[in-house]
Amino acid sequence: MYPPKFDYYRANSLSEAFSLMQEHGGAKVIAGGHSLIPSLKLRLADPGALIDIGRIGELKGITANGNSTRIGALTTHAIVAAAKNLPQGLTEAAGWIGDPQVRNRGTVGGNIAHADPASDLPTVFTALGATINLTGPGGERSVAAQDFFTGLFETALQEGELVSSIDVPTNGGGSAYAKLFNPASRYAVVGCAAQVKVENGVCSAASVAVGGLTSHATKANAVEAALLGKPLNEATIAAAAAQISQDLGDDVMGDLHASADYRRSIAPIYVAQALTAAASRAG
Amino acid sequence: MPIQHIKVLRNGTDEEELKVVETTGLPTWDADTKFTVVGRPQSRLEGLEKVTGRARYSYDVRLSGQLYAAVLRSPYPHARIRHIDTTKAEQLPGVHAILSSANAPDDITWYEEKSKLFDKTLRFIGDEVAAVAAESEEFAQDALRLIEVAYEPLPFVIEVEAALQPDAPRVHDKGNRVDEPTIYERGNAAAGLREADVVIEQTYTTQTAVHNSLEPHGCTAFWEGDQLTLWESTQGIFETREQVAEKLGLPEHHVRVVKEHMGGGFGSKQVPWKQTVIAALLSKQSGHPVQLMLDREAENLAAGNRNATVQRVRLGAKRDGTLTAILADIQVVVGAYMVGGEASEVNGMYERLYRCPNVRTEQIGVYINAGPCVAFRAPGHVEAAFALEAAMDELARALQLDPLTLRNRNYSEIDQKKEKPLSMPNALQVCYERATAAFGWQTYQRPAPTGPKRRGIGIAAHEWGGSGQPPAYAWIKLNGDGTVDVVTGTQDIGTGARTGLAQVAAEVLGLPIEQISVHLGDTAKGPYSPTSAGSSTQASVGPAVFAAAVEAKRQLLEVAAKLLEEEPERLEIRDGVVMVEGEPENKLTVAEVTGRLAPHMIIGQGARGPNAKDKTIRTFGAQCVEVEVDVETGEITVLRVVAAHDCGRIINPTMVDSQVFGGITQGVGFALTEERIVDEKRGLVLNANLEEYKIPTVADIPQMTNVPVNLPDLAANPTGVKGIGEPPLVPTAPAIANAVFDAIGVRLRHAPLSRRQLLAALATQAESIDKSAPPHTQEGQS
């Protein structure tokens, strides 16, 4: 297996990237290459030209800023996993992606721009209420994570735009991520991210999202509603987790590893796991 | 000159024995023998080469002007090639040779003559359509994309049940049954069932699993004039030579097969496949050396697999557990062709493992339009054990007996098929005792459930061959400096055969192992040795090395006796020094003796002698397993496995441990995750890769303990060694399934034990408990 022929361009700055993108219509942007290179080798993609943005320094790194932390799009999963100033639900999810080679190469921006339905980070960013910052030749704009993921491998990104960074709120309470691993690829068969706040012994804020189940990361509104104003214990968490079937509707997908029915049936378990861990971290 | 015993067929029936090489009168390593090298842990002699990446595998061969080949494979499970046009591919720069049904020799057949080398009828996805040799792998792949093929898709069949219907699409003209059923019966099985107080009747299925050797199949072919050399990833260099010579119409001495290092075969490389002859023909056509290695997809589509089975099992027993009948109706799903080599005899274990007067087995092979099966580590036995050992567990539960008690009650000390004694009648007993003692079977306290997690334990046993047999030959050459070359035509398929054979030679010759080199894996350099299959290399070739070393030592002592002015009988070699018994001062080093002789040379020749005729030689083993089952997610975690396997005398405990741990690891994969998945609608294999086909890695394996069972079996050979390569995989999966039952009270009868299957079984159990009046209904009770 080897990729079809392509021209390679390296952008040293964002502006250079945009002009290269304009010049080579149909070109693909490459950063870590963990999704793009396999699809090239399998001949599922034949873009003719690749624009490498991997060395653009302004897109790298993690910066804390008050109640929010900004993650540059080119930051690798390994860097995120090791970061101290990010919600635990995000760092643990990043640490469970693939294997060390994948985590050292794969980038956060590439991951969410690809929007694989079995990917972990879309679920986590959706639950954490993150903001995805996009940049294009016309300037910058921001999209809430829950609006960014729109379908199967589909996002709010428009032609000519790149993900530049992600702003993650750090004052949202305790957070956690739970997942059933695909035993071979380590992708999520079912993944759940949860963030909760506890005040006066009851849940004052809850944000929950699931992945691996439908075409894209999904906010679990019914689960959240069932938690608010309740003390967080085994019974209330189980009852709330059972609400996930409301949030999922009929759109659950199946594949050779797990049928839609199986995914649906175990989703509450991982919702409950994530909620239990998040509650224990809510202080 | 020594003589060997050879059986000669007279008039097609009578056997007469001729002596060619003497293999009797050898000393034996009995229970009292004191050892210095044998029985001690010894790191692999080639270990450093391997871990530093210097060891050369078939893929590493690089010859001047070498081309790289790629194969176009059928995208249809069943199709006819209407037309094939390779013109565009031929015109691609860098392409040197193309073979297809349009130009390949028409008289080379494969798969029991059911397919030509390039056949116009394709019977599975992955069947060879064309092959290209080009200056790089990439050129070859580009060329494949330029070959135009008009396929006529034909009706196909994937499911075994569908394949047996009268109106099913036919994989071969004569239908989908490989042959008439193989039927065995002793006593009266039907009557045995009638005598029984309790009958278990269940159907078990096992999946198609793929070998996934680290090193794929493949070879590099090179002609010098009319001499063909093949660097082939094979378990049998001589078998490959014989078959390639026959297919290509060459005399055997014009074909040389080399296999230096190998990344596993597990049975899939015990026969040559089409690609070997394709590489040779592409090399001939292009005038260049040609390398043809399979990629992982081709490896998992078209280079063999473990046949799926359907096994309907009936066991009958008296209240006290005594078996009155064993019946098994077995369907073996062979894929599109019979490949040759060891067939999967699922029936054998039913006939041998337990004492039972009334046994009937019926086995039939079924063709389907999918990649052909081939021997896979303990073929037949892995499949049979999954069913028989689970059925025995079900019987034990129905009789409210401990599964170990039931097994002991039906212990067989003889070979019931041949009505002969077993060479080691208590071997399985020892395995049971050691495995259960080390595991803590009798004293096991089930931990209280934590959340959705439930613990349970299970046991399973097995039997297997592994006696080794003639013929196998070895030479020992003593060099002037006292070092030794061991030369034999066997191959080290990754098991460590070099090291085990060196230990045998070092022990006999009284030399440190550093003074021994083992040369193997080359038909041009060593004498015949058999294919490394059936767990037999150490037990077949080891005794030949032993005999050669004994002969070399005899010659050495004769020379030393002259130099020391002593009788040879009074001499002994220890740690490289020839000494006179009782006179420690009177000695010479081996190097001093051989140095005085040089450049004359001592050469010992050895042959593997026959096995004892009056006894049946088998190997046995037992494993105990503890699992944890999550009743919410259906996940099964194997926590620990304790194994005890009889392999005769242990030459190298480290290598025996390696085989046991590797076998258990494959067993965990077979039990829990490994399964070739075929889309029934289109016949596509959905997971011919390692991303979607899950083999266990270090993150998935349990705590493993191998309890050594060192029972020298001198009926097998003078070294007392039997095989260990295949057996450790056999009992793992049924022991896991039995442990799952112990944990959650539901029986999973279909390998692999998927989460979906487990949850469905739990749901059915919950339903039946709701409906049934008596609260303590026991599953499996009849």
Shared domain check, A43 and A19: yes
B756 interfaces chain A, CB cutoff of 8 Å: yes
pLDDT at B15 over 70: no
A100 interfaces chain B, CB cutoff of 8 Å: no
Shared domain check, B591 and B560: yes
CA B263 to chain centre: 14
A225 interfaces chain B, CB cutoff of 8 Å: no
A6 interfaces chain B, CB cutoff of 8 Å: no
Shared domain check, A208 and A150: no
Q: Is B690's CB within 8 Å of A184's CB?
A: yes
Which run of H or E residues covers position B15? strand B14-21
Q: Is B691's CB within 8 Å of A185's CB?
A: yes
Q: Is B759's CB within 8 Å of A269's CB?
A: no
B693 interfaces chain A, CB cutoff of 8 Å: yes
pLDDT at B279 over 90: yes
Shared domain check, B668 and B546: no
Q: Is B692's CB within 8 Å of A266's CB?
A: no
Q: Which of B607, B628, B655 is the last residue of a domain?
A: B607
Using CB atoms, which residue from A2, A184, A266 is nearest to B692?
Answer: A184
Shared domain check, A29 and A43: yes
Shared domain check, B450 and B330: yes
B175 located within any domain: no
Which residues fall within 8 angstroms of residue B585, CB to CB, at 6 or more apart?
none
Q: Is A2's CB within 8 Å of B137's CB?
A: yes
Shared domain check, B229 and B334: no
A151 located within any domain: yes
Mean pLDDT throughout B254-277?
A: 97
- Could you tell me where the beta strands, DSSP code E, fall in A200-279? 202-211, 218-219
B329 interfaces chain A, CB cutoff of 8 Å: no
Q: Which two tokens stand for residue A188?
A: 């999520």
d(CA B136, CA B185): 57
Using CB atoms, which residue from B633, B673, B690 is nearest to A180?
Answer: B633
Shared domain check, A86 and A99: yes
Confidence of residue A185 (pLDDT cuts 50, 70, 90): confident
Shared domain check, B747 and B637: yes
A38 located within any domain: yes
B174 located within any domain: no
Nearest CA-CA distance, residue A2 and chain B, Å: 7
B208 located within any domain: no
Nearest CA-CA distance, residue A6 and chain B, Å: 14
Nearest CA in chain B to A266: B633
Question: Is B726 labeled as catalytic in the residue annotation?
Answer: yes
Q: Is A184's CB within 8 Å of B693's CB?
A: yes
Shared domain check, B332 and B294: no
Q: Which of B327, B362, B330, B313 is nearest to B189 (CA)?
A: B327
Residue B23: the pLDDT is 66
Shared domain check, A244 and A178: yes
A48 located within any domain: yes
Contact B709, B431 (CB under 8 A): yes
Nearest CA-CA distance, residue B694 and chain A, Å: 5
Burial (Cβ within 10 Å: 0-12, 13-18, ≥19) of residue B597: middle
C-alpha to C-alpha distances, B130 to B71, B148, B288, B335, nearest whole angstrom: 6, 10, 18, 21
B169 located within any domain: no
Q: What confidence tens digit (pLDDT) does each residue in B99-115 have?
A: 999 999 999 999 999 99
Residue B88: the pLDDT is 98
Helix/strand/coil for B495: coil
pLDDT, chain B, mean: 94
- The total of structural domains in chain A comes to 3
Print the domain residue range for B89.
Answer: 61-154+214-264+269-302
Q: Which of B72, B36, B534 is nearest to B270 (CA)?
A: B534
Q: Which of A20, A36, A52 is the last residue of a domain?
A: A52
Q: Which residues of chain A make contact with B686, given a CB cutoff of 8 A?
A: 256
* Region of residue B363 (left: phi > 0; alpha: psi -120 to 50; beta: else): beta
CATH of the domain at A155: 3.30.465.10
Confidence of residue B782 (pLDDT cuts 50, 70, 90): very low
Q: What confidence tens digit (pLDDT) does each residue in B562-571 have?
A: 999 999 999 9
A1 located within any domain: no
Q: Is A184's CB within 8 Å of B691's CB?
A: yes
> Which stretch of A116-125, B4-13, B545-554 has the lowest confidence by average pLDDT?
B4-13
Q: What percent of chain B has pLDDT over 90?
A: 91
Residue B18: the pLDDT is 62
Residue B300: the pLDDT is 97
Shared domain check, B544 and B493: yes
pLDDT at B247 over 60: yes
Q: Which of A127, A153, A169 is the last residue of a domain?
A: A169
A206 located within any domain: yes
pLDDT at B769 over 80: no
pLDDT at B774 over 80: no
Shared domain check, A204 and A179: yes
Q: Which two tokens stand for residue B179?
A: 């042959």
Q: Which residues of chain A make contact with B761, given a CB cutoff of 8 A?
A: none
Shared domain check, B564 and B525: yes
CATH of the domain at B322: 3.30.365.10
Shared domain check, B623 and B597: no
Q: What confidence tens digit (pLDDT) does each residue in A228-242 have?
A: 999 999 999 999 999
Nearest CA-CA distance, residue A49 and chain B, Å: 19
Shared domain check, B497 and B544: yes
C-alpha to C-alpha distances, B333 to B205, B343, B365, nearest whole angstrom: 11, 12, 6
Mean pLDDT throughout B377-396?
A: 98
Shared domain check, B535 and B421: no
B554 located within any domain: yes
Shared domain check, A158 and A61: yes
Given B299, B433, B566, B726, which residue is catalytic? B726
Contact B501, B513 (CB under 8 A): no
Q: Which of A169, A197, A215 is the last residue of a domain?
A: A169
Q: Which two tokens stand for residue B757?
A: 């299957």
pLDDT at B780 over 80: no
pLDDT at B130 over 60: yes
- Could you tell me where the beta strands, DSSP code E, fall in B345-409? 359-367
- What is the per-residue DSSP string for B316-339? EE-TT--EEEEEEEEEEEEES---
Q: What confidence tens digit (pLDDT) does each residue in A109-136 have?
A: 999 999 999 999 999 999 999 999 999 9
Nearest CA in chain A to B700: A183
- The total of structural domains in chain B comes to 3
For this complex, say whether ipTM is above 0.95: no
pLDDT at B775 over 80: no
Residue B342: the pLDDT is 72
Confidence of residue B3 (pLDDT cuts 50, 70, 90): very low
Question: Choosing among A257, A261, A269, which should be mutated to test the B contact, i.e. which has the most B CBs within 10 A?
Answer: A257
Bridge-partner residues for B255, per DSSP? B228
Which residues fall within 8 angstroms of residue B440, CB to CB, at 6 or more apart?
none
Confidence of residue B768 (pLDDT cuts 50, 70, 90): confident
Q: Is A185's CB within 8 Å of B700's CB?
A: no
Q: Is B755's CB within 8 Å of A262's CB?
A: yes
Q: Which of B576, B607, B638 is the last residue of a domain?
A: B607
B181 located within any domain: no
Confidence of residue B13 (pLDDT cuts 50, 70, 90): low
Contact B687, B210 (CB under 8 A): no
Shared domain check, B136 and B246: yes
Q: Phi, psi (5° rounding) for residue B533?
A: -150, 160
Print the domain residue range for A209.
Answer: 174-281
Q: Which residues of chain B make contact with A257, given a CB cutoff of 8 A?
A: 692
pTM: 0.94
Residue B19: the pLDDT is 57
A269 interfaces chain B, CB cutoff of 8 Å: yes
Q: Is A256's CB within 8 Å of B138's CB?
A: no
